[in-house]
Amino acid sequence: MIGGVGRARTAPDKQGQMLSDVSTPRPRGRHVTIADGRRMHAILQEPTTGTGEPNAPLVVLEAGAFGFSADWASVQAELAGQGLRSLAYDRAGLGFSDPGPAPRDALAVDADLYRLLDAIGEPGPYIYCGHSMAGLHARLFAARHGDRVTGVVLVDATTPETIDDPGARRALQSFTWLCRAVTAAANAGMVRPLAALGFGNAIGVQGAADAEKRWAFADAAHNLWSTREVEVWAASAYQAMSAGLYPEAVPISAVFAGAPRRRRPRGPRVIRDHAPCPFARVQHEPGANHASLLGPRHAANLARSVVQLSESRRPRAEAPALDTDSTT
- Judged against a pLDDT cut of 50, whether residue 21 lies above it is answered with no
Give the C-alpha separation, 11 to 150, whole Å.
38
Give the C-alpha separation, 239 to 237, whole Å.
5
**Structural domains of the chain, with CATH:** 2-327 (3.40.50.1820)
Give the C-alpha separation, 279 to 309, whole Å.
10
- Judged against a pLDDT cut of 70, whether residue 328 lies above it is answered with no
Q: 310 and 252 in contact (C-beta within 8 Å)?
A: no
- Which of 7-21, 245-259, 269-283, 288-302 has the largest mean confidence? 288-302
Bridge partners, 327 (sequence order): 284
The per-residue pLDDT for range 90-115, each reduced to its tens digit, is 999 999 999 999 999 999 999 999 99
Give the C-alpha separation, 246 to 19, whole Å.
42
- Judged against a pLDDT cut of 70, whether residue 4 lies above it is answered with no
Residue 100: predicted pLDDT: 96
Categorize the per-residue pLDDT at 171 as very low, low, confident or very high, splitting at 50, 70 and 90: very high
- Judged against a pLDDT cut of 90, whether residue 167 lies above it is answered with yes
How far apart are the two ends of the chain, measured CA to CA in Å? 41
Q: Which positions ≥6 away from 17 have C-beta within 8 Å?
A: none
Segment 177-189 shows an average pLDDT of 94
Residue 16: predicted pLDDT: 32
Categorize the per-residue pLDDT at 277 as very low, low, confident or very high, splitting at 50, 70 and 90: confident
Bridge partners, 41 (sequence order): 31
- Judged against a pLDDT cut of 50, whether residue 326 lies above it is answered with no
